[in-house]
Amino acid sequence: MIYQYKVNANKHVGIRLDKYISLNLSHLSRSKIKFLINEKKVLVNGLNKDPDYKIILNDKIKVIEEIKNETYLKGESIKLNIAYEDKDLIVIDKPAGLVMHPGAGNQSGTLVNALINHCGKSFSFVGENQRPGIVHRIDKDTSGLVVVAKNDFIHANLSDQFSKHSIKRKYITICWGVISPSKGTISSLISRSDGNRKKMKSSKIKGKEAVTHYKTLKILKDEKNNKIASVVECQLETGRTHQIRVHLSEKGHPIFGDKVYGRSPMKKLKALSEKSIEQISGLPGQALHAQFLGFYHPRKEKNMNFQSVMPVYLSNLINSIKS
């Protein structure tokens, strides 16, 4: 369906684009409207605009809503590590290896399939029907905390918090080398790689703003007492795809086990003990864990903070290397 509007009333001048669309298309949730805008299915005078664009008189707005005969996702009995749950939302401590939602090559066995089974059929209709309830993601091979909405009110509110960067997220990671300075901020624009659409890259002229604050928690040494790696805490100000992995790799400190953005430097790898090498080869993915998650609960009207215990394989890896 294609909907077209012309702003001809002064009372609509100055309101946000997403709000204007919701006034005219009441069957669309706010999350669905934002999805359409981000997918370039909404044009203002033939151009793409952000959800918070303030409309002006005589703006011509076109909304393209694709009606698909999609098969609704099925629930699957997959064990979940639930950190918190109430009638509005659920916080999951996701293991490495579990995909967030169905997509190309992953039509089942995802966190969403597990949540549909756990929460019931009504969950299938929260937000997008191919990724219901999802307001943010972590990579398949990254472990840690994610919050998922159970209704559209919570979905829209949490989505706004992520858009405003008010959600607190801290990751723990093990990377090669010693970062200088030991504490700081990495800032760049991140976009998809031209050569490999599955990879992301930094740029000074193209992409979305990405800001990572980091601090070194521990320096790890080889058998000869040479500094060889670091345990680093990364706090996200923004949440771009592969952000921490890209930022650390491009700074010259790829994450252990990250086969996309940096292989293990052989000279440093060989300098480690057999036990450490065995721990590294046994990693289920990159050594990256979403350890802390904080957000404002709109229904309870209070801040909620959650902390996850580091996976055993990461703590064993750290303990196998001298500090």
Query: Cβ(310)–Cβ(289) under 8 Å?
Result: yes
Known catalytic residue at 93:
no
Q: Mark out the alpha helices in the chain (DSSP H runs).
A: 17-24, 30-38, 111-119, 152-163, 243-250, 266-270, 274-281, 312-320
Nearest to 293 by CA among 169, 159, 117: 169
Query: Cβ(135)–Cβ(149) under 8 Å?
Result: yes
> Which residue among 59, 93, 139, 258 is the active-site one?
139
Query: Cβ(91)–Cβ(146) under 8 Å?
Result: yes
Q: Which amino acid is at 9?
A: A
**CB contact set of 94 (below 8 Å; sequence gap of 6+):** 81, 100, 111, 138, 143, 144, 145, 146, 290
313 phi/psi in degrees, rounded to 5 = -65, -30
**CB contact set of 79 (below 8 Å; sequence gap of 6+):** 114
Q: Which two tokens stand for residue 16?
A: 């946000």
Q: How far apart are CA 119 and CA 63, in angstroms?
A: 32
Torsion 206-211-216-220 (CA) sign:
negative
Q: How far apart are CA 23 and CA 95, in angstroms?
A: 40
For the purposes of burial, counting CB atoms within 10 Å of the CB of 109, is it exposed (0-12), middle (13-18) or buried (19 or more)? middle
Peptide bond into 181 cis (omega under 30): yes
Which residues have a catalytic role annotated?
139
